[in-house]
Structure 1
């Protein structure tokens, strides 16, 4: 189990493998981001995208799935997240792309009001199958401190 004390700024990790399907791109866009270039080949052909592309919000959801799958494998005493900073969609994501993530711990901060926890920031870069970055964000994670021997939180 990974606790606040185990988090080290500069630590890097790579994880995830998510194949983007056309069906999923269109289903997501139909429900949450129904712009024509996410739904229709002819409409997309007339835009910067050139063909149907995934919504940036869909890309974020795919990244979240990879993050959660990674947390199942690499257990941590996580407590959720108060948000993300500096979200950037760098390149379109298309059906058939295969996404993966690289993460680097930027910093960590003990909580001033909750001595049993702290937070850390990670820069996550998402790459396609050609190793082109398609999205970046700084994720903020909340995490428990290691329990003390008395059974209390540090």
Structure 2
């Protein structure tokens, strides 16, 4: 989808995704081996009382579903930024679901535009656990035609 075809408020559903213990631990042992993510004994001494999913792992569970149906598709040229906020812990056995939507658009240059995609992930209790914003460069359909923004 070209930049001109994308509107603020467009959305995609992130389907239910289980948080698998083995996958979660393997990710953390490789990429974020903090004791709260990999050491059951240590995790029991924390407020959560059990191993927490890494925030980056949690983000990637939702992101994997979003990129399969992203707004720009083949017209997405690159990403420029990702920001994440964490609101509640995620544990093995949780089930996540959510929504990705276009929060903002802006013309970047005569050839492409920039969209801000917000992804909200919720656990099985509909509690917000993660919010991310990513900026994506999307190809314009008609680069020679000026876009007037409000």
- What TM-score range do you get, normalising by the shorter chain? 0.7 to 0.9
CA positional deviation for 1:78: 1.0
Contact 2:114–2:137 (Cα < 8 Å) also in 1: yes
C-alpha distance in 2, partners of 1:153/1:76? 20
Residue in structure 2 matched with residue 68 of structure 1 by the alignment: 67
Q: How many positions carry a matched residue from both structures?
A: 145
- Does the alignment pair 1:139 with 2:134? yes
Residue in structure 2 matched with residue 99 of structure 1 by the alignment: 96
Residue in structure 1 matched with residue 48 of structure 2 by the alignment: 49
CA positional deviation for 1:5: 0.7
Normalised to the residue count of structure 2, the TM-score between the two structures is 0.85
Contact 2:113–2:137 (Cα < 8 Å) also in 1: yes
CA-to-aligned-CA distance 1:55-113 (integer Å, 9 cap, x gap): 111112222212122239x845211210123x21111111111112212322111123x
Cα RMSD of the aligned pairs, angstroms, is 2.1
- The gaps in structure 1 that reach 5 residues or longer are none
- Alpha carbons of structure 1 residues 60 and 153: separation in structure 2 relative to 1, 3 Å: farther
Contact 1:17–1:66 (Cα < 8 Å) also in 2: no
Contact 1:80–1:143 (Cα < 8 Å) also in 2: yes
Normalised to the residue count of structure 1, the TM-score between the two structures is 0.83
